Amino acid sequence: MCGIIGYIGKQNAAPILIEGLKRLEYRGYDSAGLAIVSQVGGKNGSSIVAVKSVGRVANLENKVSEQLEGVVGIAHTRWATHGKPCDRNSHPHSDCNGKIWLAHNGIIENYQELKDILIRKKHVFKSETDSEVIAHLIEEFGKKYDFKKSVLESLKLLRGTYGLAIIHRDEPNKMIVARLGSPLVIGVGSNENVIASDVSAIIRHTDQVVYLEDGEVAVITPDNYEVFSVKNRAVSKEVTKLDWSIEKAQKHGFDHFMLKEIFEQPETIQNATRGRLVVPEGRAKLGGLRHVADQLRGIEKIVIVSCGTSYYAGLVGEYMLEEYAGIPVEVEYASEFRYRKPILNDKVAVLAISQSGETADTLAAIREAKEKGALTLGIVNTVGSTIARETDAGTYNHAGPEIGVASTKAFTSQLSVFVLLTLMLGRQRGMSFVMGQRIATEMAKIPKQIEKMLKTSKDIKKIAKKYLKYQNFLYMGRKYNYPIALEGSLKIKEIAYVHAEGYPSGEMKHGPIALIDKNFPSIFVTPKDSVYEKNLSGMQEIKARGGKIIAIATEGDKAIQKIADDVIYIPKTLEMLTPLLSVIPLQLLAYYVGVGRGYDVDKPRNLAKSVTVE
């Protein structure tokens, strides 16, 4: 939620900031803005110029004139929380005199209280945002202290979360950044430094990064950075070398990132399993869990915490782990888990699933679990993200940067890691070599099977065209494919703004069937598995009521053609692996319906890629 970037060096900052904002735009796109220190030490001292615009970064780019020169600047792309999207509420925000400017990601919970105090001290506010209060606080402390001390004193008063980048007209060769609950990374260059909410905006400039931790503040100049605690104690930091390349974050000829990411799945699944899936031995190696392997043997329950698509991956994981590793599993929405009073102890492993590794609720759930003595684990995509760093152990899913707001390749790579985890824990707990080898052999075929399915994407495009006009869909599946029904319905909601309900097909008769008529099509995920016959009966019941049906079925299933209006086939595989295949046509269907309805599928309205606020 919200992306921030800052540059300090020798180059003209504005184009660098705009380019960085484009990479961060997936974090929010309600408005964008930048502030540049211009005329450093000129006749009348320095000045800071800000430009803001509602909507996409492209609008801001059109507004920024070529004359806007300066080698220090900050910028922001906004996902609105406090105050509607308009120029006035766009970041960066300033103090009363335009001396101090800041870009903020997060929420200041006690802003109203602080604002009231500052108004009494005659501060004049220009926006309705919570963020502006920070600029005025720094201004207030500036009456007594220098820039750094004013920032530190202000931070002590804030309740909530922040990733902050701040510049000061009177100390023009300096930028101060701070982090509490919202990510912030320093890219360390040569005679220049770039800060951003995530590495996608940094990789173009440097592959050397420093991840700020909660409660840390950094003072940055063109050739140095120093990190402190809020109490002003120096903190020594490690520099990490990034292994993401700029190419991985481009569209490569696809119309949208979402389509590119759908088509990348054969490769990303291979990346998730490479060197980990040991087919001849029927087992899996997960290096990131090696140091807790003994502890895992004694674990009596796994609680999976996650949100959105990652939550649905967790539901598939639950079926896999319970059936093949014999471990009781519960899957919880992280946003609920953190507010319950979960009963945890050292025999419970709490496993966070997160593409971004920054989702606020998932992070809070992990912190809660840690406090209660549980072993915390992560399946995370973004290397070096907060959840990856804060869990006791974990594994990356290696899907590479996912830019489309709708999660696709991250989901199938999460499922792949669940297959590996099931093999690893299953073999620890009595799964036979033969069973292990069967799962591993079938898993190794999945990338090629997806490759083959993707070749028929044109057929799905045709089906999507037929269904463009419908406003409601019922998605149904059972057992391993119930979470896929949920995921399919989430995809079409997000991308095509179509109302869709995901349901376990066995529940249909308990209510949702009342919705069915000729204007309410159903999508049945019904591969030839142990619940196939049950699904077939459900489909007959829909058909008898005049409902249209799209079926996702296994190759060779001719019988289904007699019931469904349209059939999309997936290759044969083990029942537990069917979700890796059955989700692909649902991703494509959502994509083509969204595009067919004329929407920007990479940046669906009201959403942001990384939900770093509650």
Residues forming contacts to ligand M6R in the complex (CB under 6 A) are 307-310, 354-356, 359, 362, 405-407, 494, 607, 610-611
Looking at beta carbons only, is 564 or 586 nearer to ligand M6R?
A: 586
**Shortest Cβ distance from residue 310 to ligand M6R (Å)?**
4
DSSP letter for 475, please: E
**Shortest Cβ distance from residue 397 to ligand M6R (Å)?**
10
Q: With residue 420 as reference, give the H or E element that holds it.
A: helix 409-428
Residues 6+ apart with CB under 8 A from 336: none
Asked if residues 322 and 426 have their Cβ atoms less than 8 Å apart, the reply is no
Whether 609 is catalytic is: yes
Cβ burial, residue 330 (10 Å; 0-12/13-18/19+) = middle
**Shortest Cβ distance from residue 586 to ligand M6R (Å)?**
12
Asked if residues 1 and 81 have their Cβ atoms less than 8 Å apart, the reply is yes
Looking at beta carbons only, is 99 or 603 nearer to ligand M6R?
A: 603
**Shortest Cβ distance from residue 353 to ligand M6R (Å)?**
7
DSSP letter for 562, please: G
Alpha carbons 104 and 148: distance in angstroms, whole number:
17
**Shortest Cβ distance from residue 607 to ligand M6R (Å)?**
6
Alpha carbons 364 and 361: distance in angstroms, whole number:
5
The one catalytic residue in 2, 22, 479, 603 is 2
Cβ burial, residue 82 (10 Å; 0-12/13-18/19+) = middle
Whether 2 is catalytic is: yes
Looking at beta carbons only, is 198 or 214 nearer to ligand M6R?
A: 198
Alpha carbons 18 and 302: distance in angstroms, whole number:
44
Looking at beta carbons only, is 206 or 612 nearer to ligand M6R?
A: 612
Looking at beta carbons only, is 134 or 583 nearer to ligand M6R?
A: 583
Looking at beta carbons only, is 150 or 489 nearer to ligand M6R?
A: 489
The token pair that represents 224 in the structure block = 């140095």
Residues 6+ apart with CB under 8 A from 498: 470, 471, 472, 473, 492, 593
**Which of 252, 271, 274, 582 shows the shortest CA–CA distance to 450?**
582
**Shortest Cβ distance from residue 413 to ligand M6R (Å)?**
11
Alpha carbons 89 and 104: distance in angstroms, whole number:
12
When CB distances to ligand M6R are compared, the closest residue is 308
Alpha carbons 581 and 569: distance in angstroms, whole number:
10
Number of H helices, E strands in the chain: 18, 27
Asked if residues 233 and 555 have their Cβ atoms less than 8 Å apart, the reply is no
Looking at beta carbons only, is 151 or 405 nearer to ligand M6R?
A: 405
Q: With residue 352 as reference, give the H or E element that holds it.
A: strand 348-354
DSSP letter for 158, please: -
The one catalytic residue in 22, 174, 548, 609 is 609
Looking at beta carbons only, is 183 or 308 nearer to ligand M6R?
A: 308
**Shortest Cβ distance from residue 593 to ligand M6R (Å)?**
15
- Sheet of 348-354: strands edge to edge? 329-333, 301-306, 348-354, 375-380, 393-396
**Shortest Cβ distance from residue 467 to ligand M6R (Å)?**
20
Alpha carbons 575 and 578: distance in angstroms, whole number:
5
The residues annotated with a catalytic role in the active site are 2, 609
